[in-house]
Amino acid sequence: MTITVNGINKRFGKYQALNNVSLDIPEGKLTALLGPSGSGKTTLLRIIAGLESADSGRINFAGQDVTGLHVRDRNIGFVFQHYALFRHMSVAQNIAFGLESLPRKQRPSRAEIHKRVTELLEMIQLPHLAKRYPAQLSGGQKQRVALARAIATRPQILLLDEPFGALDAKVRKDLRRWLRNLHDEFHFTSIFVTHDQEEALELSDQVVVMSQGNVEQVNEPTELYARPDSRFVFDFLGQVNVLPGEVQRGRLSQGKAWVTVPGSRHQGSAQLYLRPHEVRLANEPGQYAHLPLRIESVSLIGSEVRIELSPVGWQSNSPDNIWEVGISHAEFNQQRPARGDLRYAVPEVGHLFNDNDSQPTTINWAEAASAPLVRLIN
């Protein structure tokens, strides 16, 4: 069931929570609504569910206008961040609630309900906890029960509001994988809200990045990461190293730092955005860049060695005035960088934001070196 969101506006008093939002949610896909708090993502999800009503705009499910339809008639499954299990009902009673709430004519028999509940309990791997009460379950178990309850009536749309927000890291990872499998098995059209970019990129088929009531960008996770459309998406998705400066005659400079910006005809102030994996560290400045940095810390935990550096003789406007570069463990063992060492950053790929442009120009120095003509990638 495709979901179409058309020109949704929502105000809370003076605060514009959603600003003319339009979206297409493809059928059978898992879509993430990603954004910082206050970006309107939860409000949008609640409007799609029918728990909140929009001031203007329309919602369609599979081409049918459901804007005026009550939540209970939209046939959606909704999962809350804090589970919202009924405390006075056992796990089995919680799961059966939706089936027992059906109008008498559609309601399955007692035996059928029992069968379906048993089936769902097995699916969430908690058949032994059927008689327990929610207070006796762990967070991860509660959220699985909440999921089973939401899909008991076989809705075609599953909406999840920060489903893993209240869980600790390990449980979150397990449950994420489990949700992905569940989704692939049943082919719901799912939307989940999250402020965790890693979760959004890892779990979803499509990511909708939101900020201040607007949709910033919609794309597949890999595309989104490789080609952010705006400074906001860039900043929001992962660590970023920034060199702000002035462009003059094909060169961006600030203090002791400079980088050539082949192909940019812009003159004036601009910012260069670089992902940690798009930068190498060298003992000598490269041909295209002079970016002296001092090593502040080296973190060996993880699949990559993370090195934090502070600019020498120039300023970055990334948080704490720190640049972050990732190198492989093999490289680390060869070079043995240590705190206090001076290094030069050599960018390979970068994204230049001119002051009056919202979209970046991507610069590829490696290619520029091999080809005389500069290739511009949007």
Residues at the contact surface with another protein, assessed by CB under 8 A: 49-51, 70-73, 75-78, 80, 82, 84-89, 97-98, 101-102, 133-136, 146, 149-150, 152-153
- Considering beta carbons, is residue 145 or 295 the nearer one to another protein? 145
- Considering beta carbons, is residue 118 or 153 the nearer one to another protein? 153
CB contact at 8 A, 151 and 77: yes
Question: Under DSSP, is residue 206 helix (H, G, I), strand (E, B) or coil?
Answer: strand
CB contact at 8 A, 157 and 79: no
| All residues at 6 or more sequence positions from 287 whose CB lies less than 8 Å from its CB, including other chains | 369
Segments of 196-348 assigned E as strands: 206-211, 214-219, 241-248, 251-254, 257-260, 268-274, 279-282, 289-290, 292-299, 305-311, 323-327, 342-347
Question: Under DSSP, is residue 276 helix (H, G, I), strand (E, B) or coil?
Answer: helix
What is the closest distance, in whole angstroms, from the C-beta atom of residue 303 to another protein in the complex?
A: 38
- Considering beta carbons, is residue 87 or 170 the nearer one to another protein? 87
- Considering beta carbons, is residue 158 or 270 the nearer one to another protein? 158
What is the closest distance, in whole angstroms, from the C-beta atom of residue 95 to another protein in the complex?
A: 10
- Considering beta carbons, is residue 165 or 285 the nearer one to another protein? 165
CB contact at 8 A, 286 and 344: yes
- Considering beta carbons, is residue 78 or 323 the nearer one to another protein? 78
What is the closest distance, in whole angstroms, from the C-beta atom of residue 270 to another protein in the complex?
A: 47
The residue among 79, 74, 119, 73 whose CA lies nearest residue 96 is 119
- Considering beta carbons, is residue 146 or 215 the nearer one to another protein? 146
What is the closest distance, in whole angstroms, from the C-beta atom of residue 15 to another protein in the complex?
A: 19
Q: 110-123 and 139-151 are packed helices; what angle lies between their axes, rounded to 10 degrees?
A: 140
What is the closest distance, in whole angstroms, from the C-beta atom of residue 118 to another protein in the complex?
A: 19
Residue 202 φ then ψ, to 5°: -75, -35
Structure-token pair, residue 308: 């934090």
- Considering beta carbons, is residue 153 or 219 the nearer one to another protein? 153
Report helix, strand and coil shares of the chain as percent, to nearest 5: 30, 35, 35
What is the closest distance, in whole angstroms, from the C-beta atom of residue 69 to another protein in the complex?
A: 12
What is the closest distance, in whole angstroms, from the C-beta atom of residue 101 to another protein in the complex?
A: 4
C-alpha span between 347 and 17 (Å, rounded):
39
What is the closest distance, in whole angstroms, from the C-beta atom of residue 79 to another protein in the complex?
A: 9
> What's the distance, CA 104 to chain centroid?
42
> What's the distance, CA 55 to chain centroid?
27
